């Protein structure tokens, strides 16, 4: 009953935000759900005020080629993402651009390409994420630390690690290109940036990847650094941490809508799951100490205010970017909360559906065949058509790697969510009718990319599933992904999730898995 009242009891804020909160939260039909194609109307500043724009990305995973879904819609890639960032800079002149982690590529041969991207886009700060600590580093390196040093030694954008200490010195790490905090000044306004390694890094990474390092508790580090930055004159405090906050599922359930169509109620109370490391961190922060926390990891969007702190995160692998407009009073050196303009994540579309002026594919009522060029803030997005064939080749190669896994494990499909750490590999069996229900729910929740090979087929503008309800299917996945899936968890796993012997139709394949499921050697050697 309480959940059903959430939509009625939304609390309106004095702050403003782009796109009316409930405008697009409907089951069928939407317009500009994740886009801002029109020239924006920017409010005038009063005397003594300055506008500061914070833009962020998260969970890039070194993905600098576009992602193409089953509808042929392409998202991200360095060419298009750089166009979005350029337009944003042209609109607001000055920009604070940050990344909250999981930015390194799984293929270390692409390290320089990723390095050059952050360099040319003039990022102001980066921090490390969970997958960054779990990457397979080259044989000539002894740990992930060597990989980080390789990246930072020639990087202009600093890696900010405020709570990562070296046990030998008792000081924050002092690698070349690493800083405990960053201060940037724009038109007399100072922005302080803190970078926090998430609290669960220790539990979820191999010991040898962090030998000699200590992770300080996040709140303690934030208190110390934020107060230092305020004493140094910071008007705005930004925290980067690759940790997650789930503000989607409660609202989606109450509204009976897909996850992808909810959670743009920045001031709504009671819609975020605070029983997590990020939730506990935000609840313990003193109000108004930190202005914005940039998170990640979930693969979902977050644009929510918790105890007067704005929390941002967007879709992974360059599929979106976040930004917020702060107005700062130069006399009081404080952000004027009533003049904050909050934007929901903007998808980095290569083209739009003409009906909706966006590229969101999770609405079956939309005609996906009629398309127009993409725009952002009134300017055209011009994809690099010449590179399209190379991008498709890369996608096919990745699919072939997964197909090799499937053949080896005698499985029909792989369930591989983006931006998830991998634990025990498992194969489970499920009936076609159960699988059909799960696939339909994942399609409605814009999670079609979690399944390989893609079981979704579009024929004559109608969705079809390439499965039979009269047979059973074997699915390759891993424990972590199953436990986090709201649909698969209840189908496959019994209540006692700690006891593997109580799971139905499960074969435990291995106890340790490389962080990238698409590395065939990890399975073939078993």
| Start-end of H helices in 195-313 | 201-204, 218-231, 249-255, 277-284
The rounded distance, in Å, linking the Cα atoms of 144 and 137 is 6
| pLDDT tens per residue, range 188-232 | 999 999 999 998 888 888 888 888 999 999 999 999 999 999 999
Predicted pLDDT at 81: 96
| Torsion region of 307: left, alpha or beta (phi above 0 gives left; psi -120 to 50 gives alpha) | left
Phi, psi of 190 (to 5 degrees): -105, 130
Predicted pLDDT at 167: 93
**What SS3 string covers 356-395?**
CCECCCCCCCCCCCCEEECEECCEECCCCHHHHHHHHHHH
Q: Do 211 and 143 contact (CB within 8 A), yes or no?
A: yes
Predicted pLDDT at 193: 98
In 276-319, which ranges are E strands? 292-294, 302-306, 309-313
Predicted pLDDT at 475: 84
Residues of the chain below pLDDT 50: 1-14, 386-401, 419-420, 494-526
List residues bridging with 74 in a β-sheet.
Answer: 68
Predicted pLDDT at 463: 62
Neighbours of 365 (CB within 10 A): 11
Residue boundaries of the structural domains of the chain: 39-380, 388-524
Buried b (16+ CB within 10 A) or exposed e, 6-42: bbeebeebebebbbebeebbeeeebebbbbbbeeeee
| pLDDT tens per residue, range 365-384 | 888 889 999 999 999 999 86
Predicted pLDDT at 49: 96
Calculate the CA 346 to chain-centre distance: 12
Calculate the CA 354 to chain-centre distance: 27
How far, CA to CA in Å, does 206 sit from each of 62, 134, 138, 201, 423? Answer: 21, 7, 16, 9, 12
Predicted pLDDT at 298: 83
| Fold of domain 39-380 | Purple Acid Phosphatase; chain A, domain 2 (3.60.21)
Neighbours of 148 (CB within 10 A): 24
pTM for the complete prediction?
0.75
Neighbours of 208 (CB within 10 A): 10
């Amino acid at each position: 009953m309480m959940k059903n009242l959430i939509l009625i009891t939304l609390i309106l804020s004095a702050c403003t935000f782009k796109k009316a909160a409930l405008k697009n939260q409907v089951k069928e039909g939407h317009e500009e759900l994740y886009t801002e194609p029109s020239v924006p109307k920017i409010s005038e500043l009063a005397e003594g005020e300055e506008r500061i724009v914070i833009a962020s990305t998260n969970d890039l995973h070194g993905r600098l080629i576009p992602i193409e879904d089953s509808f042929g819609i392409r998202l991200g890639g360095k060419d298009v993402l750089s166009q979005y960032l350029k337009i944003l800079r042209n609109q607001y002149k000055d920009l604070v651009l940050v990344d909250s982690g999981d930015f390194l590529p799984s293929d270390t041969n692409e390290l320089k390409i990723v390095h050059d991207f952050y360099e040319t886009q003039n990022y102001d700060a980066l921090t490390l994420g969970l997958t960054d600590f779990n990457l397979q580093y080259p044989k000539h390196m002894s740990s992930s630390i060597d990989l980080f040093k390789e990246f930072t030694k020639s990087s202009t954008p600093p890696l900010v690690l405020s709570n990562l200490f070296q046990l030998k010195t008792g000081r924050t790490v002092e690698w070349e290109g690493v800083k405990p905090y960053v201060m940037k000044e724009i038109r007399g306004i100072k922005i302080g940036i803190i970078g926090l390694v998430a609290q669960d890094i220790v539990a979820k990474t191999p010991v040898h990847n962090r030998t000699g390092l200590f992770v300080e508790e996040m709140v303690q580090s934030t208190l110390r650094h934020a107060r230092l930055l305020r004493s140094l004159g910071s008007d705005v405090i930004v925290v980067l941490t690759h940790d997650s906050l789930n503000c989607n599922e409660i609202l989606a359930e109450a509204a009976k809508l897909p996850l992808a169509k909810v959670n743009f109620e920045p001031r709504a109370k009671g819609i975020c799951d605070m029983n997590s490391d990020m939730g506990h961190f935000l609840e313990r922060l003193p109000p108004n100490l930190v202005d914005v926390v940039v998170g990640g990891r979930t693969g979902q969007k977050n644009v929510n205010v918790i105890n007067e702190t704005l929390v941002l995160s967007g879709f992974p692998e360059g599929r979106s970017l976040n930004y917020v407009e702060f107005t700062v009073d130069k006399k009081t050196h404080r952000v004027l909360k009533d003049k904050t303009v909050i934007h929901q994540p903007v998808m980095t579309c290569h083209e739009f559906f003409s009906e909706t002026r966006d590229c969101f594919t999770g609405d079956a009522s939309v005609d996906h065949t009629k398309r127009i060029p993409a725009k952002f803030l009134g300017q055209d997005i011009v994809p690099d058509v010449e590179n399209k064939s190379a991008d498709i080749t890369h996608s096919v190669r990745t699919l072939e790697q997964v197909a090799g896994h499937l053949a080896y494990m005698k499985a029909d499909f792989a369930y591989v969510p983006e931006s998830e750490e991998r634990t025990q590999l498992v194969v489970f069996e499920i009936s076609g009718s159960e699988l059909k229900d799960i696939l339909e729910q994942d399609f409605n929740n814009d999670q079609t990319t979690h399944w390989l090979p893609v079981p979704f087929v579009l024929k004559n503008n109608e969705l079809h599933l390439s499965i039979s309800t009269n047979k059973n299917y074997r699915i390759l996945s891993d424990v972590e992904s199953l436990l986090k899936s709201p649909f698969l968890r209840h189908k496959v796993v019994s209540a006692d999730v700690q006891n593997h012997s109580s799971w139905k139709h499960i074969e435990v394949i291995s106890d340790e898995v490389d962080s990238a499921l698409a590395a065939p050697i990890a399975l073939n050697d078993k």
